Amino acid sequence: MDFELQDELKLFRRTVREFCERELAPHAATADETGELAWSAIHKMPALGLTGLQVSEAYGGAGLDTTGAALAVEEIGRVCGSTGLSISAHNGLGCGPLMAWGTAAQKERWLPLLTSGRHLGGLALTEPQAGSDLLNGAQTTARRDGDHYVLNGHKAWITNVRFAPVLSVLARTDPAGGSRGFSLLLVEPDRAGVTVHPPEKKMGLKASPTHMLTLENVRVPADHLLGEEGSGFYMTMQTLDSGRISIGALSVGLAQGAYEALLRYALERQAFGEPIASKQLIQEKIANAAMEIEAARLLVYKAAWLKDKGQDYTRLAAMAKLKASEVAEKVCFDAIQVHGSYGYSREYPVERLYRDQRLMSIGEGTSEIQRLVIARQVLKAWQQGAAWL
Ligand SMILES: Cc1cc2nc3c(=O)[nH]c(=O)nc-3n(C[C@H](O)[C@H](O)[C@H](O)COP(=O)(O)OP(=O)(O)OC[C@H]3O[C@@H](n4cnc5c(N)ncnc54)[C@H](O)[C@@H]3O)c2cc1C
């Protein structure tokens, strides 16, 4: 594995950072207060490929590899968690399944809209009674009726619904079929029978819209089936593996934002006659943050690198998300601590970063589920005599 980013990726990172500093950072606190994304910035994102990170250029995307996509999400998360989550979900959960399994007609119809900077896409898996255990708990159904599917059920906690021209919805097409009984269907939220409920009132990521959906006899044409009937659960697991790299990158970005705020404040704040950065207990926090962010970032890059090489990356993606989300929690906690009372105030960004990072150990698979995934992979590999153990 190459530990240096290629020059073009370094340049891309710098360009995205400058864009984020200029277009997103000034709006991040307001977005958190008002609950509205800075659309003025999102409208400009297509020029950098941020609304189609891994979508082919033919459909308006940037055609980046996974490392490039992770860098972009990290940079957005560094300045605005809400935009980071919405752009991560849009790219990974909205555009990702369409790019991977869409027919030419589906791609032509939806991807140019999704990359336009006027919409954000999403994926509806979670239900009010089931998140981690979709296999046993998901109840939404899609029944074939002639040349249509008819969907019924509820979906909960769905990011970007309000701005999505289309969503991929996980539904049971064969209720007795187990993991082969699920399919993904493309559903337009303005279709008859779809109710988008009021936005969830969240702890953080307040400008990233999250809604519950009810589907009541929603008829979609059969050509809205994504991939093959019965392969929805498999596609979901693949999409989540990939999405975990992105949530890992977003976590690194949130940690990086808090770390930089911590450094700035520690150098500026005086106590006992000198900047608090001179105190060894503050330096311990600085050293730990520097080391842990580096470790988390390398795990994200390694997972992305494995994915781009076409190798199995399930274990590394789970490790990257788990480690990076735990690092984000600790670094944001320490950043508030170093700010003292000001850290508890909305005047400084660290309290927003602390609230925003909390989702990272829940969304796209909780930390408990990541540990189960890692342990299962390790045990399987051990039993098969894998060399990397
Ligand atoms: C802001 C936000 C945005 C979201 N966006 C989306 C989206 O766009 N699309 C979407 O489909 N979903 C989305 N979600 C939902 C999210 O992915 C789920 O909340 C998450 O997968 C966890 O599911 P759950 O909340 O049902 O928790 P549960 O599955 O009910 O878990 C509850 C607790 O039990 C633990 N647990 C469960 N099973 C086990 C086990 N076997 N061993 C040990 N512990 C276990 C969990 O780790 C957790 O701590 C979003 C959620 C939020 C808050």
Is residue 211 one of the residues assigned to a domain? yes
Q: Assign residue 45 the CATH number of its domain.
A: 1.10.540.10
pLDDT for residue 4: 74
Q: Assign residue 177 the CATH number of its domain.
A: 2.40.110.10
- Ligand 1 atom closest to Cα of residue 155: 11
Q: What is the mean pLDDT of residues 228-254?
A: 98
Q: For 124-153, what is each residue's pLDDT tens digit? A: 999 999 999 999 999 999 999 999 999 999
Instruction: Please list the active-site residues.
Output: 364
Q: Is 364 in the pocket of ligand 1 (CB under 6 A)?
A: yes
**pTM for this prediction:** 0.97
Is residue 389 one of the residues assigned to a domain? no
Query: Is the CA virtual torsion 254, 258, 263, 265 positive or negative?
Result: positive
Q: For 5-39, what is each residue's pLDDT tens digit? A: 888 999 999 999 999 999 999 999 999 999 999 99
**For residue 2, is pLDDT > 70?**
no
Is residue 80 domain-shared with residue 133, that is, in the same domain?
A: no
Q: Is 75 in the pocket of ligand 1 (CB under 6 A)?
A: no
**Probe target for ligand 1 pocket from 132, 160, 162, with the most ligand atoms within 8 Å of CB:** 132
Q: For 306-320, what is each residue's pLDDT tens digit? A: 999 999 999 999 999
Residue whose Cα lies nearest atom 23 of ligand 1: it is 131
Of the residues 211, 231, 251, the one at which a domain ends = 231
Number of domain units in the chain: 3
Is residue 337 within 8 A of residue 354, CB to CB? The reply is no
Is residue 271 domain-shared with residue 329, that is, in the same domain?
A: yes
Domain span at residue 197 reads 122-231
Is residue 329 one of the residues assigned to a domain? yes
pLDDT tier, 1 (very low <50, low <70, confident <90, very high otherwise) = low
Is residue 2 one of the residues assigned to a domain? no
Give residue 368 CA to ligand 1 midpoint distance, Å. Answer: 10
Residue whose Cα lies nearest atom 4 of ligand 1: it is 157
Is residue 259 domain-shared with residue 126, that is, in the same domain?
A: no
